[in-house]
Amino acid sequence: MPGAKEISVRCCFFLMFPVMSFVAWSGSFLAQQTQLPSGPRINFEEILRREDGDHDRKVTKQEFKGPVRLFERLDRNRDQVLTEEDFDRVGDLTERRIRIPDDVTVVRDVVFGTGGGRDLKMHIVLPAESDRQLRPAFVWIHGGGWQSGSKEGGLAQVIPLVRSGFVGATIEYRLTGEAPFPAQIEDCKCAIRFLKAHAQKYGIDPNRVAVGGSSAGGHLVALLGTSGGEKSLEGNGGWPDQSSRVHAVLDLYGPTDFRAFVTTSGYERHNQDGSPESKLLGGGEVLSSPDQIGIVNPITYVDSDDPPFLIIHGSNDRTVPLNQSTLLHDALKKAGVSAQLKIIEGGGHGGPEFSTEEIRDLEKTFLSQLLRSDDLPAAKTNP
């Protein structure tokens, strides 16, 4: 984006691998610190799921089964107990790693609702000086196989757009270690409703909300785009008087039809119990849950009222097969929805091919329609 050369605008390396055994996970942890060399990247909820035997949302050194060296690295405040505070501090490290330009402000850890009895948080990125004009919003939803990842990396995604006229947000949602589907989409919809309920406070035009995400995040933004008004997926996290409908969707190689996914040659392992897709459905072989396969599939909800889509997928993606995007694109076009599919020849599951000037310009052109509200297609706004 113009004027944002100091920001890396591509953080699309959210892969969907099965969870490792704890020994392998802890042994490889230190090798994964490429982005944040001085802070943990493992999700706190995953630590709790594995280690919190008494369910008090704290993990003592005695409870921790991994190496002492790893515990000491995670225990950033040195109080001999792992709590959410130790992991919240990762955000501070990320902010130092990702240079925050002087012309934007990051409002960190805004509570946008509740899920599973706990607070859900987002970072909101605003222009440093408000011109009192309502701006379109761009909401980033992270990937990670629905089982890992965090809202931190989304800062690099939304800052360039904030500098070009948007309000940005990057959100958390419950991972599969905490709850299966539909918890993830319920939390995403709650975030959209929160932003609309607080549109005046943050200078947002509630009728111009775009969402973007990669991999598992691509799945969730596609589902946001097609399931607007689907009450069974709304949840009860807050702001029920607001609509969760969105007005543009940027879907980067997101899964859609799990049946087609796990029966595609070379991807059969994703049918196994313990795969990311299996965990999202609540466990067991994927094909043993036909009803759930339909419920999680964005294509199930496609109709002519859906917002415009830009879908980008690599032709050599070995994590999510290309047919996941082609099936969604074909269904949208059949319903009369404005949809564009860009296939990156030779591209994998993220990677430098998604950071080229051509791809950045394609995304910018697509999202810039929200800067001109009179160009937007009509969309329903009812909950």
pLDDT at 4 over 70: no
pTM of the model: 0.76
Strands 118-127 vs 104-115: parallel, antiparallel or unpaired: antiparallel
Rounded CA gap, 189 and 247, in Å? 13
Q: Which CATH topology does 101-373 take?
A: Rossmann fold (3.40.50)
Angle between helices 183-197 and 216-226 (to 10 degrees): 60
User: Could you tell me if 170 and 201 are in contact, meaning their C-beta atoms sit under 8 angstroms apart?
Assistant: no
Contact status, residue 25 vs residue 185, Cβ threshold 8 Å: no
Q: Where does the pLDDT of residue 375 fall: very low under 50, low under 70, confident under 90, or very high at 90 and above?
A: very low
Averaged pLDDT for residues 200-209: 97
pLDDT tens profile 207-228: 999 999 999 999 999 999 999 9
Ramachandran sector of residue 231 (left: φ over 0; alpha: ψ -120 to 50; beta: rest): alpha
Helices of type H across the chain: 22-28, 44-51, 68-74, 84-88, 90-97, 154-162, 183-197, 199-202, 216-226, 258-262, 276-281, 290-296, 323-334, 357-367
Q: Which neighbouring-strand residues pair with 343?
A: 313
The values of phi and psi at residue 21, to 5°, are -60, 155
The CB density around residue 330, as the number of other CB atoms within 10 Å, is 15
CA–CA dist 302, 334 (Å, integer): 9
Give the model confidence (pLDDT) of 304-346 as tens digits: 999 999 999 999 999 999 999 999 999 999 999 999 999 999 9
Residue 54 Cα distances to 26, 59, 87, angstroms: 21, 9, 20
Instruction: List the structure tokens of 38.
Output: 């001085």
Averaged pLDDT for residues 29-55: 55
* Domain locations along the chain: 23-90, 101-373
